[in-house]
Amino acid sequence: MSAALPFLPFTRPTIDDETIAGVAEVLRSGWITSGPQVKAFEAKLSEYCGGRPVRAFNSGTCTMEIALRIAGVGPGHEVITTPLSWVATSNVVLDVGAKPVFVEIDPVTRNLDLGRVEAAITPATRAIIPVDLSGLPVDRDRLYAIAKKHHLRVIEDAAQSFGSTWKGKRIGAFGDFVSFSFHANKNITTIEGGCLVMNNDAEARLAEQYRLQGVVRSGHDGMEVELVGGKFNLTDVAARVGLGQLPHLAAFTTKRHELARAYFEQLTASGAIELGLRLPVADFAHSNWHMFQVVLPEERLNLKRADVMARLLAESIGTGVHYPAIHLFALYRRMGWKDGDFPHAEYAGRNILTLPLFPAMTPTDVTRVVTALTGLLRTHQKS
């Protein structure tokens, strides 16, 4: 690894001194698990989502599982989703005893191809879980038209799209269930954590039961358990980080847009497109630019993606893979999925590459990445 240049990771959270001091105050308070900070965080999240009920959790994974349970999805049911996502998206379907049904992606947006969804609907279908890959929203108009027509619930895997919009409306401010993640690599973070946006108070009460062992409290000492819940509560320490992050969301998003524009401009000028590199959709009206992902042209390179990543790392540039195709993992192969089922998702899964993008970056950092990547593409073209 080069000693001349500082390491540039593919992402890095920005946490200000006021938030760090606030966390110290929470630690000194003696109340560090779920308490007043969580309630305050939920109130701010609800305000952000137009007053809809919001509950915070310790991950953006359990939120999807809980949404499925609230929706009554279980054994014998099917849930349509994308094969190009973090494996949690389909694992939660298995967790409730249902069957994930994968549908091919759109090779341009890399999101679920809504034009193929209706062909996958059967009498057992109960829900759709779309994913806003890298923060680019799935077409909400088409999505909800399909759901309404077939009487399906929607659990939006919006883990990557906090701060994104659809036709001027914030993701989370409308729709059915919306699941956000606040993992350390997301646009705002609680270190680990997430939240679920719901439709009414009855769903919110169920979410609270599923969040903590199914417990319902009353009075000073009343306790009842009506269903099997888990241990999914967010801590006050984590919530205080989230409270400190929220005021910076707009500035973070603006900076991400600036960096994404720089990538488009410089990759175009460098000749990377002519060398076969596939860029994301240049959507600056809806996306929060959670990630800047390119797809390598495997048919034109004599390097595999791992080799490209290793050579960039040697120049102190970190990259990521988001994500391998889910249906080709051993767990899902045992269920009958195989190579060739979803060619677009498989090609992306082999070749997608996440480039550095986070608010503390500079345009000079973008130039550094583009120069290194384009140099590799040019040097390692197949003859």
Residues recognised as catalytic: 186
Q: Which residue type does 24 have?
A: A
Tokens in use for 322? Answer: 């988001």
Report the C-alpha gap between 231 and 139 in whole angstroms.
Answer: 34
- Other Cβ atoms less than 10 A from the Cβ of 36: the count is 13
* CA 68 to each of CA 21, 74, 153, 162: distance values in angstroms, whole numbers, following the listed order: 37, 8, 9, 20
